[in-house]
Amino acid sequence: MAQQLSLVDAASAQDLLTFAGRAARVGADGVRLAARNGVMTVQTATLSAQGLLDATPTVLGMRVMAVDPELVCDFVVAPEGLTEGTNPEDITLPESALNAAWAGIAPPPTGWEYLGEVSPFTMRILATEGIADVADLVPADSGEDVVRKVRAAVWGPLTDKLFDAPKGVAFTADALGFLRDDDPIQVFRNERWTRFTMSRGHVLSRGPARMGLTPVRATGAATA
């Protein structure tokens, strides 16, 4: 018999199914469920590197919901594998979990510095323009690898309209249903991570590592 995950109420269960359904529609390969101390984060990657030499930035969509304080879990499943359970507050889990490289890259829980706000209108424009670009650049009957490369080329570049975060942040916020016209987006940064916080969810992006040589510091006593 398939295992079930019990949430605090039917609304939370429906919220999780809605998030998983949207993740599946944008081609996400998995949904991560991580619960501890009565809080569960639900994450999916809309953009991520596919190898050591791939410079594609990581962009995650995240929802936070309350769960039973005794529930402790951390696993990734296919988004389409999450289905309604026996009771309204239950979610039926797929029989097996997945391994996803992006799930091993966790954003820091604290230490975020406030940067400012981004308008939902700006996000919608960037998302609409990018979706049109992807549609124009993907040839008919393209394979998954081609589509992935085109999406990385369109959504991967950084933009100063999003505090030098990838354009894919806008796509993620729009595709996962986080944007509201009356909900200004708060932006925070912690080293390589940038977080976009909305009432309906969060989008997090992780930029590339700093490249180049470390400056040499002088040592020893100075000479006249």
Q: Are residues 68 and 152 in the same domain?
A: no
Q: Of 75, 104, 133, which residue sits at a domain end? A: 104
200 occurs within a structural domain:
yes
Tell me, yes or no, whether 117 and 190 share the same domain: yes
Claim to verify: residue 122 and residue 168 sit in the same structural domain: yes
Among the candidates 104, 121, 145, a domain finishes at 104
Asked whether residue 95 falls in the same domain as residue 162, the answer is no
Sign of CA dihedral 176, 183, 7, 105: positive
Q: Which of 104, 139, 155 corresponds to the end of one domain?
A: 104
What pLDDT, in 10s, does the model give residues 84-96?
999 999 999 999 9
Co-location of 87 and 127 in the same domain: no
7-41: pLDDT as tens digits: 999 999 999 999 999 999 998 999 999 999 999 99
Q: Which two tokens stand for residue 152?
A: 């990385």
Q: Which of 150, 19, 142 is nearest to 79 (CA)?
A: 19
pLDDT at 213: 45
Residue 79: both structure tokens together? 């988004």
What is the three-class DSSP state of 77? strand
Based on the fold, state whether residues 92 and 118 are members of the same structural domain. Answer: no
Give how far Cα 84 sits from Cα of 39, 63, 109, 182, Å: 20, 18, 30, 31
| Residue 133 and residue 97 share a domain | no
Q: Do 11 and 100 have their domain in common?
A: yes
- Per-residue confidence (pLDDT) for residue 187, from 0 to 100: 98
- Checking if the pLDDT of 211 tops 60, the result is no
Q: Domain limits at 172?
A: 113-206
Number of independent structural domains in the chain: 2
For residues 90 and 140, state if they share a domain: no
**Do 141 and 183 belong to one domain?**
yes
The reply to whether 75 and 15 lie within a common domain is yes
Is 130 domain-assigned? yes
pTM over 0.85: yes
105-164 pLDDT tens trace = 889 989 999 999 999 999 999 999 999 999 999 887 788 888 888 999 999 999 999 999
The pLDDT value given to residue 38:
93
Strand-by-strand arrangement of the 73-77 sheet: 73-77, 31-36, 39-47, 58-66, 201-206, 193-198, 185-190, 113-118
Q: What is the CATH number of the domain that holds 70?
A: 3.10.150
Specify whether 122 is located in the same domain as 93: no
